[in-house]
A and B are shown apart, each in its own frame.
Chain A
Amino acid sequence: MKRGDFVAGAIGVAIGGGALFMAADFPADVVMKIGPAFFPDMLAGLFLICSAALMVSAALAKTVPGVVEDPPPVRGLSLENGILRAVVTVIAVIAFVVALRPVGFLITSTVFLTAMMGLLGLRKPVLMVAVSLGITAGVYIIFEKLLGLTLPAGILESVLY
């Protein structure tokens, strides 16, 4: 039994089934038999079959003895816990995006970069802030000044323009 593949197959079956279910409501084309539902139906059907095949083969697969699938991970609320760090990273990006418009790119980006460097184990505050400011300024110059794409100014609006 390969657990990862079994779960992946199950998710695939769910997605395929869900797509088939939703596509049933698509309107039929007046002129032809092939309407908006034709491709989604076909693809979702094939996807469902492949996913089911993966589930079956995963269920039948023998676990190779002596092979540990993952090294024993560090658990608990510590920065040594890799999974936790990945989760924190995702949350940090969400926070970055939420703050982007109201606070503005320059501040949000600098804070985000510094915080992420801290999360990844850097412990030199001056270097962290300096590098963060440098990266932020570089991105800002390329996007705003060179290409004319607007990044949110946020609370710095009255200063920047």
Chain B
Amino acid sequence: MKRRSVLVGLGAAALIGAVPFSASAAEWPAKPITMICPWSAGGGTDLLLRKLAASLAKETKQTVVVSNNTGGGGAIGHAAIMRAPADGYTIGMITFELNSLPPQGLIPFTWKDFDPIMRINVDAPALTVKADSPMKNLKDFADYAKAHPDDVTIGNSGPGSVWHIAAAMMADELGIKAKYVPFDGAAPAVTALVGGHLTAVSVSVAEVRSQVAGGNLKMLGVMGETRSDLFPDVPTFSEQGVKATFGTWRGIALPKGVPAETRAKIAKALKAAYDDPEFQEFAKNAGLALAYQNDKDFTAFLDKNANDVHRVMLSLGLAKK
């Protein structure tokens, strides 16, 4: 019976406390913050956001709740961020799919409908083949592909996914033809390559990391701007004369309309959370390539990325227009 009276008391308190209070910029954060994750609980993006949320909570001394609004290949969550109240208490994590969904006609909005706050990481793909393959670099791969035009299969993580686009960019730059085999995520594609059922995969360095370290697979080149911290011996595409950089990214954005003053406060708090040693260590262990950018740089980055993605998707026949 005791528990009941306590809860009844709580209920009564709630009715009194529920009077909405307006929070001005000066006092942000005056109440709990919600962070929207467009991907499901327990996944890589979710874990990253939960760690960042924990650091943000430490920083702001406020409760930070992570809410997973998933579905539609990211469409549902991004829409939820866009439609959230612009009071600074709902912050969203945006991911690469924000730029690949619009060309497919799957969402009626673009990154321009958000206020980007900061970029968190960029993970570059690598062209990876079996370790016992005679190919040693991108040129060998291109030569092989030209000699066997019907045999080259490149596995990726799904139709229209970031690594599908990466594979098409690679083939385009190398001037070869290949069959793109979409799998349900990166892991099964990597498994198929280890089993010798594919010629190559075009997934991220982190996703082939253990197989490369274990001696089953080898990377011919990474598509990042710089070499990967995990494998500093593997040259980039640019170093091999193929001028192309690409990668998936994650970042933080707000719905349009948050006052500039509040936005600055949020950005500052998030940067502090990002710099939290605990968060940094987590990202390092997870093999994520952290790549902070502030709001201005991130905005410019998003603009270029959206154009690149659109162009490649058109050439793949994945874009509607």
Q: Indicate whether A and B are direct neighbours in the complex (CB within 8 Å).
A: yes
Cβ-defined partner of B65 (8 Å) among A107, A134, A161:
A161
Q: How far is the CA of A133 from the CA of B50 in the complex (A)?
A: 30
B300 close to chain A: CB less than 8 A? no
Interface contacts (Cβ under 8 Å), in number, total 41
Q: How far is the CA of A115 from the CA of B13 in the complex (A)?
A: 24
Binds B, one of A67-75, A83-91, A151-159: A151-159
Please determine whether B65 and A158 come into contact, CB atoms closer than 8 angstroms: no
Please determine whether B65 and A150 come into contact, CB atoms closer than 8 angstroms: yes
Q: How large is the interface on B (under 10, 10 to 19, 20 to 34, 35 or more residues)?
A: 20 to 34
Binary interface encoding of chain B residues 301-321 relative to chain A, with 1 for a CB under 8 A from any of its CBs, else 0: 000000000000000010000
A146 close to chain B: CB less than 8 A? no
Q: In A129-157, which residues have CB < 8 Å from any B CB?
A: 129-130, 133-134, 137, 148-150, 155-157
B216 close to chain A: CB less than 8 A? no
Chain B CB count within 10 A is highest, among A133, A148, A158, for A158
Q: How far is the CA of A137 from the CA of B2 in the complex (A)?
A: 13
Please determine whether B4 and A133 come into contact, CB atoms closer than 8 angstroms: yes
Q: How far is the CB of B261 from chain A (nearest CB, A)?
A: 24
Count A interface residues, CB 8 Å.
17
Measured CB to CB, the residues of B under 8 A from A are 1, 3-4, 7, 10-11, 13-15, 17-18, 31-32, 41, 50, 63, 65-68, 317
Q: Which residues of B contact A107 (CB under 8 A)?
A: 11
Cβ-defined partner of A130 (8 Å) among B1, B11, B17:
B1
Please determine whether A156 and B67 come into contact, CB atoms closer than 8 angstroms: no
Cβ-defined partner of B18 (8 Å) among A30, A134, A137, A158:
A158
Please determine whether B10 and A159 come into contact, CB atoms closer than 8 angstroms: yes
Q: Which residues of A contact B32 (CB under 8 A)?
A: 157, 161
Q: How far is the CA of A106 from the CA of B31 in the complex (A)?
A: 20
Please determine whether B14 and A156 come into contact, CB atoms closer than 8 angstroms: yes
Q: B65's closest neighbor in chain A, by CB?
A: A150
Known: A150-B66, A161-B32, A161-B63. A156 touches B4 (CB 8 A): no
